[in-house]
Amino acid sequence: MSVTERPDFYSLVAKNRRATWGLLVAFFVLLALVSSTFTLALGAGLIGVIAGLVISGGMAATSYFSSDKIAIASMGAKPASIEEYPRLHNIVEGLSISAAIPKPRVYVVDDPAPNAFATGRNYENAAVAVTTGLLAKMKRDELEGVIAHELAHIRNYDILVMTVAVATAGAIALMTDFFWRLMYFGGGRRRDNDKGGNPVVIVGMILVAILAPLAAAMLKAAVSRRREGLADATAVELTRYPTGLRKALEKLDADSTVVQRTSHATSHLWIETPDDHRGGRRGKRFNDMFDTHPPLAERINTLRQMEGLGPYPGPAAVVS
């Protein structure tokens, strides 16, 4: 896309929503393939499939209903008082009105690395948190861009979408684990006249058992990346000012500090993941398929196109 062909946030929102639902459909197709394959492979396969779905569904439900409490506790976030953080509350309240959602609870994480996250299964249980580093390093318009991005996750019900993705990936992982255990303990031995005894069928089943969890992890990461793109576009819709978020992302790209209290399980919640600052990784192209966020440079370039600017010159060109 040339600089003169500026993308608008409405088309980006529609594009990312279509892509997200397309990926979720692919998830369910993969789940159906795995279920039918293992039902064919094992005499008690259907029972195993149902058990896997029930267990993974229960785990997902527990995570879903406790997502806000788990995230806030694991990040070490503390409630932000209006008296101590009036600017932050003012921005959150104003953007919540623009997004037509109730004002979420506001938290602060005592960490010098600039970052932010949102959590909550619905509007009533939503929360947004920022680090002290973000408050110290961002100007008002940049902070508004970041907060708008996080409120967009709440407005777009991204926790629900990601819960569906995680639950589906979990069900596939449990079913493949169940398959391997039954095969190991002899559950896969079938009568000679059974189709399950066909070596070609058995090899196909083993390939599915190996590749399905890998495909599920890739799909889950792809859904997360699409939701990040959707949140960027929705943030511009709320602020009508792509420059604020663009400058904030450029500062994040130029800042190499990483939030201390984070892990692989929670890295997808932040507006910027630790992987954005890991360069020269062996097998980077393969690992990128499992990243939960698009590259910062890619997100910045999309916003620059909205402004009619040229390509992102890199973090060295960022001026505080």
Residues belonging to the active site:
150
Where are the strands (E) in 71-210, listed by range? 77-79, 105-109, 116-119, 127-131
Annotate 96-113 with DSSP letters as a single string: HHHHTSPPPEEEEE--SS
- Amino acid residing at 175: M
Whole-number Å distance between alpha carbons of 93 and 210: 48
Closest listed residue to residue 238, CA positions, set 102, 100, 106: 100
Cα→Cα distances 157→116, 137, 230, 243, Å = 17, 29, 11, 25
* 119 DSSP 8-state letter: E
Hey, what are 241's tokens?
């000012």
Q: CA 31: distance to chain centroid?
A: 20
Torsion, CA 216, CA 217, CA 223, CA 225, rounded to 10: -160
Taking a C-beta distance cutoff of 8 angstroms, is the pair 157, 151 a contact?
no
Hey, what are 78's tokens?
């503390």
Residues 6+ apart with CB under 8 A from 166: 60, 63, 220
Cα→Cα distances 231→56, 73, 197, Å = 27, 24, 49
Cα→Cα distances 132→114, 138, 167, 255, Å = 7, 10, 33, 14
